[in-house]
């Protein structure tokens, strides 16, 4: 009887020990699982931080590149603007100088005509040969008109009997005429007209019959 009680007691101790070991095993296993989960979460967190840093570095490089490009473009713009300002000032100065000296070449050529007139006046002062005087001034007049033509000045061709054209003639008077055929025609020219290249700078003044 005593031996049976002892056996039951020992069996109970064994069962308790097994239960305790089982509980300890489960606890240990649970702790191991928790540790693994914690480690996994830390790894995930670490990976997430790493990815964020990579993305930040990527965009920061792009931002730095854009800033550098903007600085270069701004510098290029300032250089171009400065060059344009220098060009504008230079051309304005050249244009002003051109306006001041636009007639310089023509004036130099006209001076030669002035010299001819002065020489003719001195040489023929008190001369009894009027033909020489007239011939001398005719030569000067011819030279003068040649000079004008070489600079683009032309006399407008208009003759008595031409039909009046308001686009090319300036009528200073309308005079009745006995001839019906002369109505609307030029019957007198009081002042010659001229054009510079293709532009009329002075219309010929005419009298028109009516």
Q: What is the pLDDT of residue 136?
A: 81
Which architecture characterizes domain 154-210 according to CATH? Roll (2.30)
Contact call for residues 120 and 142 (beta carbons, < 8 A) = no
- State yes or no: pLDDT of 143 exceeds 80: yes
Q: Which sequence spans correspond to the domains of the chain?
A: 1-101, 103-151, 154-210
pLDDT at 5 over 50: no
Whole-model pTM above 0.85? no
**Could you give the CA distance from residue 124 to residue 129 in angstroms, rounded to a whole number?**
8
User: What is the pLDDT, as a whole number, of residue 17?
Assistant: 55
- Residue 22 pLDDT > 80, yes or no? no
pLDDT (tens digit per residue) in 53-103: 778 888 888 888 888 888 888 888 888 988 998 999 988 888 888 777 777
Q: Which has the higher per-residue pLDDT, 163 or 37?
A: 163
The answer to whether the beta carbons of residues 186 and 168 sit under 8 Å apart is no
């Amino acid at each position: 009887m005593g031996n049976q009680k002892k056996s039951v007691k020992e069996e109970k101790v064994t069962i308790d020990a097994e239960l305790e070991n089982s509980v300890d095993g489960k606890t240990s296993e649970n702790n191991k699982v928790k540790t693994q989960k914690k480690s996994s979460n830390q790894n995930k967190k670490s990976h997430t931080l790493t990815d964020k840093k990579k993305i930040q570095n990527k965009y920061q490089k792009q931002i730095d590149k854009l800033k550098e490009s903007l600085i270069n473009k701004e510098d290029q713009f300032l250089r171009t603007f400065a060059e344009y300002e220098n060009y504008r000032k230079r051309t304005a100065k050249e244009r002003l100088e051109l306006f001041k000296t636009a007639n310089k070449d023509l004036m130099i050529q006209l001076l030669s005509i002035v010299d001819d007139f002065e020489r003719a006046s001195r040489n023929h002062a008190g001369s009894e040969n009027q033909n020489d005087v007239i011939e001398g001034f005719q030569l000067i007049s011819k030279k003068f008109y040649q000079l004008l033509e070489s600079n683009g000045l032309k006399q407008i061709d208009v003759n008595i009997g031409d039909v009046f054209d308001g686009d090319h003639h300036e009528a200073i008077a309308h005079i009745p005429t006995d001839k019906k055929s002369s109505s609307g025609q030029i019957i007198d020219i009081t002042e010659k007209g001229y054009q510079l290249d293709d532009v009329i700078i002075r219309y010929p003044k005419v009298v028109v019959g009516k």
